[in-house]
Amino acid sequence: MTPSAGFTKGLFRDNPVAVTLIGLCPAAAVTGRVIDALWMSVGLIFVLVLTRLSQTILQAMLALTESASQSSPSTEARPFRWLGSLVFASCFTASFELILLAFVPDESASLGIYVPLIAVNCIVLERFAASGNREPVRNIGRDIAKSLQESGGLGVGFAISLIAISLVRETLGSGTITLFPIGSFAGTIEAGNVSLAPARALAYAGGGLLCLGYLAGAARLLGRLKGRRLEGQGGTEAERS
Amino acid sequence: MSLLGIILTFSLVDNIVLTRLLGICPCVGAPGGMRAAVGTSAATALLMSLSTLAAWVLETFVLQPLDIDFLRTPAFVLSVAGIAGFLDWVARRTVPQLLRLAGIPLAGIAFNCATVGVAIIAAKGGFNAPQSLLVGLAAGAGFFIALSLLTAIRERLEVEKVPEWLRGLPLHLISAGLLAYAFMAFDRAFLSRLFRGW
């Protein structure tokens, strides 16, 4: 495996939202505006990467103490590791909440309860399940690099899906694209004639689920086409259609 | 808000799955048929009502008096996880055959973003203790309504002819979306006219 393979795997081939279909709640709920999707992605990447990093370090330390005490790797310790990871995830989420509240209070109000729920996001929890059964730690440095790459890839893959969904939903549903206000740019792009008569249905809760379903279908279609062309090679192109 | 108002709001108007879009993973991706749906919903409703009560206790006696609001997320997540673990332990001791439907521990399914989300919503809504308990139960009922409707749709779709690239989860998500549009009919104003004074 090349060093960057762990990162790119999460981007498209194992994209959490479009392909493996986990962490769907924020993908459907906060994609009404592009800016919400951007901040949600920042939050998830922040929590996911830091949690995975802390978890890897904790696991390495536990492995060291276990080998020092010559006891067999006990299964009793596993629930406590899971709990430890939950502590990490919820604390990093709480710190992200405070950061958001301090620097972009409007966005904090707009995202509402979806920010605290990053702590129990299926992507973050799924990672716990996957790393709970890992073989004993051999090389701490390599483990840390691997966990950083994997979690970074998953986080960026989540961001790509969220931004794709929110671009479709906001452009068609409200006729605007809301971004940061920079300088003289007010932060909102009008999408031509669509803004005169937008398809408001897409801006409602159901629209998020519809877009998510079609994105998942499109990702599967693209993956199948790609697989037919490359004979088993994973897809590396975007499923942004 | 009256008790009837709480029940209607949290089970229909603000349906946790179809309006708030929480707990989509267990609703769309959960394996099994109607029996598994009933089991999952019962476990979720139980966990939701206990966790809204725990959230009220934490909010009233710990977070507000000590002025440590910023610890709300860790406190709620860990207390809900603790209650889920406790329920799992109790169920394993008493009714082991009930515990595993489709090979997945029920408490593992019940501990999801919907449960924690309801706890946070209830704590921020400023309810008292019995009202918090009722919020959890009503949200659990809403979860059951959404999950049973989605399971029924899924069972019907399995025998229908559908495009191959949409078969399975993508189609479940699309049908959940259409169901969410249908739930927009449960409008707050409409229901308040039906039940005056809630």
ipTM confidence score: 0.85
| Chain B: residue whose CA lies nearest to A95 | B70
Average pLDDT over residues B27-31: 72
**Are residues B136 and B45 in contact, defined by beta-carbon separation less than 8 angstroms?**
yes
Distance CA A10, CA A132 (A): 19
**pLDDT for B130-158, tens place per residue?**
999 999 999 999 999 999 999 999 888 88
**pLDDT for A157-173, tens place per residue?**
999 999 999 999 988 88
Q: Is residue B31 less than 8 Å (CB to CB) from chain A?
A: no
For residue B48, give the nearest of B132, B148, B145 by alpha carbon. B132
Does B197 map to a domain?
no
Does A235 map to a domain?
no
Residues of A in contact with B170 (CB under 8 A): 213-214, 216-217, 220
Does A239 map to a domain?
no
Highest-pLDDT range among A12-16, A51-55, A195-199, A230-234 = A51-55
Q: Is residue B68 less than 8 Å (CB to CB) from chain A?
A: no
Residues of B in contact with A93 (CB under 8 A): 73-74, 77
Q: Which residue has the tokens 């549903």?
A: A173
**Are residues B73 and B95 in contact, defined by beta-carbon separation less than 8 angstroms?**
no
Beta-carbon pairs below 8 A across chains A and B: 131
| Chain B: residue whose CA lies nearest to A23 | B25
What pLDDT, on a 0 to 100 scale, did the predictor assign at position B105? 61
What pLDDT, on a 0 to 100 scale, did the predictor assign at position B136? 93
Concatenated DSSP letters of chain A: --TTHHHHIIIIIT-TTTTS--SHHHHHHS-SSHHHHHHHHHHHHHHHHHHHHHHHHHHHHHHHHHHHTT----STHHHHHHHHHHHHHHHHHHHHHHHHHHH-HHHHHHHGGGTGGGGG-HHHHHHHHHHHTPPPPS-HHHHHHHHHHHHHHHHHHHHHHHHHHHHHHHHHHTSEEE---BTTB-SEEE-GGGGTS--GGGGSHHHHHHHHHHHHHHHHHHHHHHHHHHTTPPP-S----
B116·A119 Cβ contact <8 A:
yes
Average pLDDT over residues B38-42: 83
B71·A119 Cβ contact <8 A:
no
Residues of A in contact with B23 (CB under 8 A): 25
B78·A86 Cβ contact <8 A:
yes
B19 phi, psi to nearest 5 deg? -110, -45
Higher-scoring residue by pLDDT: B55, B40 = B55
Does A241 map to a domain?
no
Does A150 map to a domain?
yes
Does B116 map to a domain?
yes
Q: Is the pLDDT of residue B53 over 90?
A: yes
Question: Which 8-state DSSP code applies to residue B69?
Answer: G
Percent of chain B exceeding pLDDT 70 equals 88
Does A185 map to a domain?
yes
The band of B197, judged by pLDDT with boundaries at 50, 70 and 90, is low
The band of A140, judged by pLDDT with boundaries at 50, 70 and 90, is confident
Q: Which two tokens stand for residue B113?
A: 């973003």
Does B159 map to a domain?
yes
Does B144 map to a domain?
yes
What pLDDT, on a 0 to 100 scale, did the predictor assign at position A177? 83
Q: Is residue B48 less than 8 Å (CB to CB) from chain A?
A: no
Q: Is residue A90 less than 8 Å (CB to CB) from chain B?
A: yes
> How many separate domains does chain B show?
1
Does B196 map to a domain?
no
Does B198 map to a domain?
no
B136: domain range? Answer: 3-191
Distance CA B48, CA A188 (A): 39
Q: How far is A1 from chain B (nearest CA, A)?
A: 30
Q: Is residue A121 less than 8 Å (CB to CB) from chain B?
A: yes
Q: Which residue has the tokens 């749906």?
A: B37
Does A1 map to a domain?
no
Q: Which two tokens stand for residue A113?
A: 């309860």
How remote is the C-alpha of B179 from its chain's centroid? 16
A176: domain range? Answer: 7-230
- Can you say whether the dihedral through the CA atoms of B74, B79, B84, B90 is positive or negative? positive
> How many separate domains does chain A show?
1
Q: Which two tokens stand for residue A104?
A: 């972009």
Does A236 map to a domain?
no
Residues of B in contact with A28 (CB under 8 A): 21, 24
Q: Is residue A173 less than 8 Å (CB to CB) from chain B?
A: no
Does B14 map to a domain?
yes
Residues of A in contact with B177 (CB under 8 A): 206-210, 212-213
pTM, two decimals, is 0.85
Q: Is the pLDDT of residue B77 over 60?
A: yes
**pLDDT for A145-204, tens place per residue?**
888 888 899 899 999 999 999 999 988 888 888 887 777 777 777 777 777 778 888 888
